[in-house]
Structure 1
Amino acid sequence: MARALPLARPVSFLVGALLAAGSASAESLLLVGDSTGDKFWAFSAVNGALVSDNYIPDDGQMAQPRQCVRLPSGTWYIGEPGVGLGCSASDGVIEHSSPGVFVRRVQDQSTGICDVNAICLRDGKVWIGRGDSIPNAAGGLNGIYSMNLDGTGLVAVARPPGMVSLRGMGPVAGGFVVSDYSTSSSGAANRLLKISSDGQTVTVFHQPEAGGLQFPRQVSPLPNGGVVVAGFSGNPGLYFFNADGTPAAMPYFRTQGPTWTLISPRGCYPLENGKVLYAGGTVVGVVDPVMQEEFIIVNAVSGTGAAIANFSAVSRIDIAECPADFNDDGAVDGNDLGFLLASWGATGGSADLNADGSVDGNDLGLLLAAWGPCAG
């Protein structure tokens, strides 16, 4: 049955415990966008424990922030769909020099980037998922875009003609799995598509099905090369798929059962302990897919029951200042090179420096570029 996990220690203690842990995994956080407070909450990437309810504070510019990325340089990019449907001045990608410190709008309606529902890093670029309120067949510009790490070189990578509205984008081997969302259960959308990194190949990863996933939102990569998807409504829950799009060995998990409380999950991301953090409405919680249990971490309501947060997507962030220093000895050297080579071919983990779902030559290049003593 659903259980709440009481916060037995103050937030400052939890932050200190995470940063003092000394392992690469302890230097990662899961950040959840809150469109009520226009900020991000932070949770442990290991077990989902609450770290901060104001990790990226409202900068006066954010409007319904969805996801964020942190570059190795320390720069932050935040993607947001803005207020209301369609393009507005608050849509796009904004830059922070540190959490909450606004620098500029990198992409917005003037550059053709509106309704940003997803953002991630891979292959040395920033990838943006645009999810219009207008289907592509009617003139919408839904799809995947990329830009250089400095915000230049914006490219429309893929805008599938039949896409209705992109709501999630998970990096996998060879490309991305994206959710194509429609508010109508009878529409052709509400499916998962796989799009190659060059945008040249678009295939159906999973079709909607009666009694199964029908209204997909966030898509996040799993360590085995598959994905976990937040099913928003119809049959709300978390859905697990293998790398080829077939349902994983574990069953579908639906939130209408007696052990569930969450009605409409919007975001999800795997934890390092094998469980999954989910977010939606006022709730952030953890699902144990093996034991079929749910643990509520946060239910953001006032004493009168009024909602004080509205949670959406989840982002994994590496907060290490020197992420290629795997053994935390203050330098990127032969020891770290050995660790990366021993992890070669793994689907994720701390050696996957560009978070593209594979430890490969791209990660080796990042390590070699960081060779030497860590700054500071």
Structure 2
Amino acid sequence: MARGISRTLHVPALAGALLAAGAASAESLLLVGDSNGDKFWAFSAITGALISDNYIPDDGQMAQPRQCVRVPSGTWYIGEPGVGLGCSAADGVIEHSSPGVFVRRVQDQSTGICDVNAICLRDGKVWIGRGDSIANAAGGLNGIYSMNLDGSGLLAVARPPGMVSLRGMAPVAGGFIVSDYSSSSANPANRLLRISTDGQSVTVFHQPEAGALTFPQQVSPLPNGGVVVAGFSGNPGLYFFNADGTPGTPSYYRTQGPTWTVISPRGCYPLENGKVLYAGGTVVGVVDPVMQEEFIIVNAVSPTGTAIANFSAISRIDIAECPADFNDDGSVDGNDLGFLLASWGAPGGSADLNGDGSVDGNDLGFLLAAWGPCPG
């Protein structure tokens, strides 16, 4: 098996190791949550190269941030499970006006949103994955929730019976593939579920297997309609599945980390070059599943070997430089105005530029203010 060269980044060397932002796609980044620093690191969505070790800095409010999303209006939402199991004042979803600028706590224990391990965008809404260590019984709260882009309209979409702890949530055709995690291998959880966007259909996508995927964490969509899953323990590594739940080709890569023994990934996300970025512990690395190669991007330890980061889930952020240019022709013009007017009154969607859940005069004002050639 081919192996890449390990690279350990010590604290004094970090600043010099950061790559220019131009190394990444102009509009896309992969952000990795760091629970030690309560911040997000940024990596190229194309190659996985390090962009910044402090892209979303600690705002004094975040507690073990997992994932984040950026809505078309520019608002950021950050999901966090807080410290410890169960609900606490630090759990929930917080809002930033720009990276690191705290605005408010949008969802928290008062709205039943604790232990947020996943958050994503689809169909003009924000979707939230809640999962603590108490299995769902009657009225259990673990599962999928949605809210409007402005944070209103919280809805419990699916709370499957017996779900122990939702740890990952990948948007796929017709719904989501989610991981249900238990710390006990004897628990019937540790499975992957397929849940429809209306919450009415919940089916098993993959059952736990001894010696294979038994402790799933993040689940991320693949370009072929399948998913890649971070297997945390049991047999740690990246697991690949087709859209129908059958094993992909290849089906597995054992992540080995800088010492070429084993690393337990918590996060994973496909890169635009066909490889996969993974994160776990102090390590962020890239796996080429076809060539069966692994390359270490960051091993965040101090010169004395102390961990300076604890990496978890990965979020893809697509930043539209010109959000009112709906047809991507480089200019906000009559074509875009026509699209907005045709969407008038719709409950969200790409024409809802300010993210308030309705295409209306506010969005028209946003478009007119951006009229003309896009910047750059």
- The reply to whether residue 331 of structure 1 matches residue 332 of structure 2 is yes
- The reply to whether residue 236 of structure 1 matches residue 242 of structure 2 is no
2:30 and 2:315 in contact (8 A); partners too? yes
- Residue 265 of structure 1: SS of its match in structure 2? coil
Q: 2:317 maps to which residue?
A: 317
Cα gap change, 1:2/1:259 in structure 2, threshold over 3 Å: closer, same or farther?
farther
Letter in 2 for 1:4: S
Q: 1:352 maps to which residue?
A: none
Distance 2:59 2:43 in 1: 20
Matches within 5 A, 1:130-145: 130-137=130-137, 140-145=140-145
Q: 2:110 maps to which residue?
A: 110
Distance 1:364 1:102 in 2: 25
Distance 1:236 1:48 in 2: 21
Cα gap change, 1:111/1:27 in structure 2, threshold over 3 Å: closer, same or farther?
same
Letter in 2 for 1:187: N
Q: 2:5 maps to which residue?
A: 3
Distance 1:333 1:250 in 2: 48
1:2 and 1:294 in contact (8 A); partners too? yes
Q: 2:305 maps to which residue?
A: 305
Distance 2:258 2:166 in 1: 31
- Residue 20 of structure 2: SS of its match in structure 1? helix
Q: 1:126 maps to which residue?
A: 126
How many Å apart are 1:16 and its aligned residue?
Answer: 4.1
Cα gap change, 1:333/1:278 in structure 2, threshold over 3 Å: closer, same or farther?
farther
Distance 1:276 1:29 in 2: 14
1:2 and 1:261 in contact (8 A); partners too? no
1:322 and 1:374 in contact (8 A); partners too? no
Letter in 1 for 2:39: K
How many Å apart are 1:331 and its aligned residue?
Answer: 3.3
- The reply to whether residue 292 of structure 1 matches residue 286 of structure 2 is no
- The reply to whether residue 15 of structure 1 matches residue 17 of structure 2 is no
2:19 and 2:49 in contact (8 A); partners too? no
Cα gap change, 1:373/1:111 in structure 2, threshold over 3 Å: closer, same or farther?
farther
How many Å apart are 1:133 and its aligned residue?
Answer: 1.6
- Show structure 2 runs of 5+ residues with no match: 339-347, 354-358
Matches within 5 A, 1:154-193: 154-193=154-193
- Residue 26 of structure 1: SS of its match in structure 2? coil
TM-score relative to the length of structure 2: 0.85
Distance 1:199 1:71 in 2: 23
- Residue 247 of structure 2: SS of its match in structure 1? coil
2:23 and 2:44 in contact (8 A); partners too? no
Q: 1:248 maps to which residue?
A: 248
Matches within 5 A, 1:261-300: 261-300=261-300
Bigger Cα displacement from structure 2, 252-261 vs 135-144 = 252-261
Stretches of 4+ aligned residues off by more than 6 angstroms: 6-9, 366-371
Number of aligned pairs?
346
Q: 1:353 maps to which residue?
A: none
2:136 and 2:160 in contact (8 A); partners too? yes
- The reply to whether residue 82 of structure 1 matches residue 82 of structure 2 is yes
Superposed CA offset, 1:46-94 (max 9, x none) = 0000000000000000000000000111000000000111000000000
How many Å apart are 1:211 and its aligned residue?
Answer: 2.1
How many Å apart are 1:373 and its aligned residue?
Answer: 3.8
Q: 1:358 maps to which residue?
A: none
Letter in 2 for 1:266: R
Letter in 1 for 2:311: F
Letter in 2 for 1:78: I
2:18 and 2:50 in contact (8 A); partners too? no
Bigger Cα displacement from structure 2, 108-117 vs 8-17 = 8-17
How many Å apart are 1:253 and its aligned residue?
Answer: 1.2
- Residue 26 of structure 2: SS of its match in structure 1? helix
Distance 1:288 1:11 in 2: 23
TM-score relative to the length of structure 1: 0.85
1:262 and 1:280 in contact (8 A); partners too? no
Matches within 5 A, 1:20-59: 25-59=25-59
- Residue 141 of structure 2: SS of its match in structure 1? coil
How many Å apart are 1:321 and its aligned residue?
Answer: 2.7
- Residue 4 of structure 1: SS of its match in structure 2? coil
Distance 2:79 2:97 in 1: 15
Letter in 1 for 2:330: D
- RMSD across aligned C-alpha pairs, in angstroms? 2.8
